[in-house]
Structure 1
Amino acid sequence: MRQTYLDVARGAGIILVVYGHVLRGVFAAELVPVGTLGTVLAWTDYVIYTFHMPLFFFLSGLHVRNSLRGTQREFMRSKVRAIVYPYLLWSILQGSVQLAMASHGVNHPLMLSDLLAIGWRPFAQFWFLYALMLCMMGAWTLARFVPAVTQEPMAMPIRGLLAGVAATGLAVGASTQWGILSTTLMNWPFFVLGILVSNALPGWLESNSGNRACVATAAVFAAAVAFAHRFGVATSVWAVPAAFVGIALSLQLSYRYASRQMRYTWLTSIGFASMPIYLMHILAMAGVRTVLMRAGITDLATHLALGTVVGVAVPMVAYILVLRAGCARIAGFPLWPGRSAVAHPQAA
């Protein structure tokens, strides 16, 4: 049985991903005025970036132990199909479009050398898939040398080992500049946290999703964000506490929302489509911004609203059409939940 609140969390999270990229796009296009509004939007950007991608690493870690219990061949095959293939396919597709548009004044022009380097240097939003695959390989390596990682219940010494490995990764990632490897190590603790709490999470949420608990978590999150903002960017080591608390708050609110719904809603559907949205949203929202700019429309609210709506809606429509055509796997998309015994990748 699916845990609906996780789909809600994915849906909310991917909307934040799209909005965050739209927001950075209008900043890059110099559409945000200097003053109070600009300051508020800059803070909004900071808050979103403290936790929205850590949330997806956490969600991905929740189910990795189940796949680790299979054979090595099954594990590798599933991750290549769910992560590596979409990464390569959509990096090439989006990169080709960006190369073609490089002379048309796009915010982030791409060089041919960037496209040829996707084997070791991901670009744009595709860094997440690259880092996620590295996390999967890290989990597989741990399970290979410490098989007890996959056992139920997980022994306390094993939990301590995982926590130590996560802390070490964070320390190395924060103190190095090794490109995607350092970025992966910075997000590794959130992936490991998903592994550690996978069994306890439903019970914790049931006991800690009331009004007081959510307000308390929100207050701690606000304090953690304010602290991080004093010392570094939203993806720095100073923001790690804010990321952990932001993940908790996201799950609490998602659990509350899901528990009050009698059936799947639009937000859960967006969660189902989180991977296609993640893969295609940059092309969709960039197209909207280009059309609006060429039409002479520079209204900030219009850019933010249309960019976000189109960035979510167009990939969802494309996903549905691909599903109906029966070629989801060819496009690098997961099957709709319930249509296959193979769970879709919890990536966005």
Structure 2
Amino acid sequence: MLTTDWGPSRREWMDVLRGLAVIMVVVTHTVRLVQYYDEPVPVLPMIVNILTPLRMPLLFLLSGMLVPRSLAKGTWGYLKGKLSKVLYPYVLWTIILAFLTAFSVSVFVFPDLLHLLFVESATPLWFLGYLLLYYLIALLCRWVHPLIIAVAAVGLSMLPIDGEWARFWYQAVAFFIGVALGPFITGFEKFLTNRALCAVLFVGALAAMTIQTLVGESAQGVIWKVAVTLAFFVGAAGLVMPIAGSRAFRPIRYIGERTIKVYILHWPFIVYPLIWLTTNTDLALRWLIPITFLVGIVPPIIITVLADRYRAVEWFFEWNPRPRLGRAPLKDEERSQSKS
């Protein structure tokens, strides 16, 4: 059974990294969707191509690091949290986005709509579906070391199977590396105090992705991708850790604490306002991208704040949320539970 030396304190650097990963997702989707209507400044697609292979593995790795603490609650407590805070919003928002997608792309045949959402991954909710399955597989970590599962995932991702197979198991590698790292968080943080090494890893990872983007080789091997992701994660963690608690990072920490809510909401707030703007206005591209980005990040944060305060709003993201009347700021333990 996994044990952890986590202790009672929060890891604000993890919140910052998760918040930055969500912002990277919003930036990526903003630029790529705007590309359907006009060609942005060439540097923007290049930046997106550099960030794309890093953002989702980073989210999965950070989620995996919290698994040992969640498993300590017992099997039922662990499953209850995942069903309430991952499965429930996944199903609910798939239904909501199904209706919105049906009207926006004129797909009204139910099987076609299911294919669009689940097979073609027409919305980013695949993240929640993967996350839920990883959490279920993580129950095996009571008996099997998570690194063994990660190695098995590397092998499975290399099988020549079409569809979501390769992506599912590749992202699983990052998740279970995170599970393996979680019990050793204190020792890992001591390692992160080597700022020079972290800076080298961070710059090296970005340089590797930049070269890969410029050369046009996007289909590198799984082991290479995992190595670059780990270098990026360790480097970013070491650089962020000393400043993560500063006031300047408070909005990013908040996004990191409420990852699932902001992640779910960013998509409809990007897609449908963008459709309206491009259909009904002649807005210049230099304004279209920043406006779309702001609409994709600010309203989701506002709704997330409302969900923190009002149970009726929280029902859109969690099954049977705790009663709240002007909910006070979360304590450390409650925050960690809200992300588990």
TM-score category (smaller protein):
0.7 to 0.9
Q: How does 1:28-107 map to 2 (within 5 A)?
A: 28-29=36-37, 31-33=38-40, 37-38=41-42, 40-103=43-106
TM-score w.r.t. the length of structure 1 is: 0.81
Q: Tell whether the 8 Å contact from 2:174 to 2:226 is kept in structure 1 after alignment.
A: no
Rounded Cα–Cα distance in structure 1 between residues aligned with 2:217 and 2:192: 30
Q: How does 1:194-343 map to 2 (within 5 A)?
A: 194-209=178-193, 211-226=195-210, 228-229=212-213, 230=215, 232-233=217-218, 237=222, 238-259=224-245, 261=246, 265-333=250-318, 337-338=330-331, 341=334, 343=337
How many angstroms does 1:221 deviate by?
0.7
Q: Tell whether the 8 Å contact from 2:86 to 2:132 is kept in structure 1 after alignment.
A: yes
Aligned length: 320
Q: Tell whether the 8 Å contact from 2:258 to 2:339 is kept in structure 1 after alignment.
A: no
Q: For 2:15, which of 1, 7, 26 is the aligned residue?
A: 7
How many angstroms does 1:111 deviate by?
6.0
Matched with 2:135 is: 136
Matched with 1:155 is: none
Q: Which runs of 5 or more structure 2 residues have no equivalent in the other structure?
A: 1-8, 323-328
Q: Tell whether the 8 Å contact from 2:153 to 2:173 is kept in structure 1 after alignment.
A: yes
How many angstroms does 1:215 deviate by?
2.8
RMSD: 2.9
Q: Any idea what the Cα deviations from partners look like across 1:240-275, whole Å, max 9, x if unmatched? A: 32222222233223313215x269712212222321
Q: Is it true that 1:345 corresponds to 2:339 in the alignment?
A: yes
TM-score w.r.t. the length of structure 2 is: 0.83
Q: Any idea what the Cα deviations from partners look like across 1:152-204, whole Å, max 9, x if unmatched? A: xxxxxx4xxx3333122122213333533432211111111111221434443
How many angstroms does 1:292 deviate by?
2.2
How many angstroms does 1:325 deviate by?
2.3
Q: For 1:187, which of 162, 168, 171 is the aligned residue?
A: 171
AA matched with 1:289: L
How many angstroms does 1:318 deviate by?
1.3
Q: For 1:112, which of 107, 110, 113 is the aligned residue?
A: 110
Rounded Cα–Cα distance in structure 1 between residues aligned with 2:267 and 2:117: 20
Q: Which runs of 5 or more structure 1 residues have no equivalent in the other structure?
A: 104-108, 150-157
Identity %: 21
How many angstroms does 1:344 deviate by?
1.7
Matched with 2:326 is: none
Matched with 1:152 is: none
Q: 1:202 and 1:235, CA in 2 relative to 1: closer, same or farther beyond 3 A?
A: farther
- The farther-off stretch of 244-253 and 303-312 is 244-253
